[in-house]
Amino acid sequence: MFRLQTMPYPKKKQLYGLLFILPWAIGFVLFFAGPLVTSLKYAFHNMEMTPAGLKGKFIGWENFRYAIFKDPEFIREAANSFVNILYAVPLILVYALFVAVLLKNNFRGRGFMRAVAFLPVIIASGVLMDILKEDVFSQGMRGGVDSVYLFGGGGIEGVLTELGFGPKLIEVFNNVIARIFDLTWRSGVQVLLFLAGLHAISGDLYEASSVEGARPWEQFWKITLPMLTPIMLLNIVYTIIDTFTDYGNGVILMIYDTAFSQVRFGYSSALSWLYCLAIGLFLGIVYLLLRKRIVHSQD
Amino acid sequence: MNARLQGIWNKRLRTPIVSAIRYAVLAVLAYQLLYPLLYMLSMALRRPEEVTDPSVIWIPKTFSLQNFTDTLRVMDFWDAFANSMYVGVGCGLLDVVSCAFVAYGFARFRFPFSNVLFALVILTLVVPVQTIILPLYADMKYFDAFGLMKLWSAVTGGPGSISLIGKYASFYLPSLFAMGLRSGLYIFIFRQFFAGMPKELEDAAYVDGYGPFKTFFRIMLPNAKNAVITVFLFSFVWHWNEYYLSNLWLGNLKKNFAIALSSLRVDLQSVVNVQTISDPLVVLTRIQAGALLSILPLLVLYLVTQRYFTDSVEHVGIK
């Protein structure tokens, strides 16, 4: 008879491991893998709502061909989101790292500042962000409140033209300024991860280096930054995913619209598959570029 | 001379100047992050006529609670509050238990394909929910769990599937199986946390005759207090703010704050209410009041757990 007690120890451990992840495996098949396969099937079909339910006709690659070669909107929106990423990732990373370093040190009022710094994690949501952007942000731009200086790029534009910057550069700069509000409000989790990473760096490294005569500035570049590279990668990946899958993202809105307003389920599935593959490819490239630069601490 | 200046700089000026700069930067940061909250509060408390009054910047001349009382009614505040709480607390608790359980398996046991399986956990985070939303919706509408329901109906003659649309179960079930909203991230956080805990803890438990499950529930989970609070807070907050899925799963059957807030502008102007509001300034102040009301429970929860939350940051120790 099969008995657990007589099983060799390593086999038993394997079995227990599998038992622990069993709930996830069930959920994965039920709520992810199954729907994923079905949506791939949809993408090759022309799905229609009929009185008898959802009916599909196999049309091969037609949906994909249409999205890439004929639909002007999809390519434009997709290009927009990729350009958006090129702004968002560096800005969010620099901002989050800056705030995390500030918050790590001990100073009076640190508890308060930490509580405030994580506010975006708590309240920044799709709907609320829309209201904030629509009302708070635009109110400032209209000049009603004193936030013009904080969020508006109007005054700086004149200064930059005087300094002789080209209109293209100024446009980039304006884009950055206009996004600051949005970006700081989307960096909550990144600040959190960086802060956790900073606390994980062993204090011995700093002690040893200051005995050797290193200044804080040198310590930052030679110790803090290299030790943070694994978290940096995590943050980059998180930011990319978060920005690409945000509900306010143009492509996401388009996918949603195509499915639920225009009732073109097959085409919507094809769009989301293309988008998903693009994200995967982008993440893969980013990972390959950064992999060599990650410092792994031995312990 | 230069050396002397350097000496003065190092001795006397450095610390105060550095800390002055730091406080200036922090003040700007705090202002920027608190600005929307202060704006909402200031707008929500004033009378609509004062929105355009240039002599009123932050503090209204006459305080009015009319905005709040109106919004409470239009948003069905207590109804939305109950619905948001059911989803938030329920999914928060389920996510904590299921994700910790699964993460412990990934952190402490080696089994065939464990790395591949963990890569799949990360994959669930990468694929936008929009990709699978259509089939998922169909699955929720005609839920039969691997055909088990059909089998059951063949035996008892009951229905072959049940609809989870408009039921909290559409949120609870995925969370129960560690596949809910951003569950992959929670599994990742817990795995990091468990991997950093001393092995001796478990060995001692095994010597005492505990099995792996007893060890997990009696020793590991209670010791992961900070990670538990962090994950619960994340899950609670993200479910609270979730609009897209709430709209699909619960829709108008169970309005939570995300849904109520998104339709607030329309609801204020619609004829359904006793008196419709057409004045844009009135709508503006009412919406700010609504926004504030919908995040107020979150803010209260955050203020209470904030200490554990920021503490846990220091101890999660992601590597």
Instruction: State the burial class of residue A8 (Cβ atoms within 10 Å of its Cβ: 0-12, 13-18, 19+).
Output: exposed
Q: Is the dihedral of CA B240, B241, B247, B251 positive or negative?
A: positive
Identity of the residue numbered A70: K
**pLDDT for residue A147:** 38
In CATH, what is the architecture of A72-291? Orthogonal Bundle (1.10)
A23 interaction partners in chain B (CB closer than 8 Å)? 98, 101-102, 176-178
Q: Which residue of chain B is at minimal alpha-carbon distance from A110?
A: B26
Backbone φ, ψ for residue B91 (5° rounding)? -70, -35
Cross-chain Cβ contact B318/A193 below 8 Å = yes
**pLDDT for residue A153:** 45
Task: Report helix angle B14-45 to B66-74, nearest 10.
Answer: 70
> Between the CA of residue B151 and those of A35, A187, B143, what are the distances in Å?
21, 48, 13
Q: Which of A36-40, A113-117, B260-264 has the highest mean pLDDT?
A: A36-40
Q: Which residue of chain B is at minimal alpha-carbon distance from A253?
A: B130
Residues B299 and B314: their CA atoms lie apart, in Å, by 22
Per the domain annotation, does B191 fall within a domain?
yes
How far does the CA of residue A255 sit from the closest CA of chain B (Å)? Answer: 7
- Over the stretch A125-134, which tens digit does the pLDDT of each residue have? 667 777 776 6
Cross-chain Cβ contact A283/B126 below 8 Å = yes
**pLDDT for residue B122:** 84
Per the domain annotation, does B138 fall within a domain?
yes
B134 interaction partners in chain A (CB closer than 8 Å)? 35, 38-39, 42, 259, 265, 268-269
DSSP-derived 3-state class of residue A190? helix
Contact status of B15 with chain A (Cβ, < 8 Å) = no
In total, how many domains does chain B have? 1
Angle, CA of B271, B275 and B276, to the nearest 5°: 55
Contact status of A49 with chain B (Cβ, < 8 Å) = no
Lowest mean pLDDT among A38-42, A56-60, A176-180: A176-180
Q: What is chain B's Cα-based Rg? A: 26
- Over the stretch A148-167, which tens digit does the pLDDT of each residue have? 334 444 555 666 677 777 77
- Over the stretch B156-215, which tens digit does the pLDDT of each residue have? 777 777 888 889 999 999 999 999 888 998 998 888 888 878 888 888 888 888 888 999
How far does the CA of residue A7 sit from the closest CA of chain B (Å)? Answer: 15
pTM: 0.84
CATH number at residue B110: 1.10.3720.10
Per the domain annotation, does B163 fall within a domain?
yes
Cross-chain Cβ contact A23/B101 below 8 Å = yes
**pLDDT for residue B25:** 87
Per the domain annotation, does B216 fall within a domain?
yes
Cross-chain Cβ contact B102/A111 below 8 Å = no
Lowest mean pLDDT among A16-20, A80-84, B157-161: B157-161
**pLDDT for residue B284:** 80
| Spatial contact of A64 and A274, defined as CB atoms under 8 Å apart | yes
User: Which residue shows structure tokens 């099937």?
Assistant: A41
Per the domain annotation, does B71 fall within a domain?
no
Q: B276 or B227: which carries more pLDDT confidence?
A: B227
> Between the CA of residue B77 and those of A155, B83, B233, B292, B299, what are the distances in Å?
42, 10, 22, 12, 16
- Over the stretch B247-297, which tens digit does the pLDDT of each residue have? 889 988 888 888 888 888 778 777 555 566 677 778 888 888 888 888 888
The complex scores an ipTM of 0.84
Per the domain annotation, does B202 fall within a domain?
yes
Kindly indicate the confidence band of residue A145, based on its pLDDT and cuts at 50, 70 and 90: very low
How far does the CA of residue A223 sit from the closest CA of chain B (Å)? Answer: 15
Instruction: Please give the span between the terminal C-alpha atoms of chain B, in angstroms, as a whole number.
Output: 47
Identity of the residue numbered B188: F
The count of C-alpha atoms lying within 13 angstroms of the C-alpha of A177, restricted to the half-sphere facing its C-beta, is: 18
Per the domain annotation, does B153 fall within a domain?
yes
Work out the average pLDDT over A187-199.
Answer: 86
The count of C-alpha atoms lying within 13 angstroms of the C-alpha of B58, restricted to the half-sphere facing its C-beta, is: 6
Contact status of A183 with chain B (Cβ, < 8 Å) = no
Q: Looking at the predicted structure, is the pLDDT value of residue A139 above 60?
A: no
Task: Report helix angle B280-316 to B77-108, nearest 10.
Answer: 20
Q: Where in chain A is the domain with CATH 1.10.3720.10?
A: 72-291
- Over the stretch B86-139, which tens digit does the pLDDT of each residue have? 999 999 999 999 999 999 999 999 888 988 999 899 888 878 888 888 889 888
Q: Looking at the predicted structure, is the pLDDT value of residue A56 above 70?
A: yes
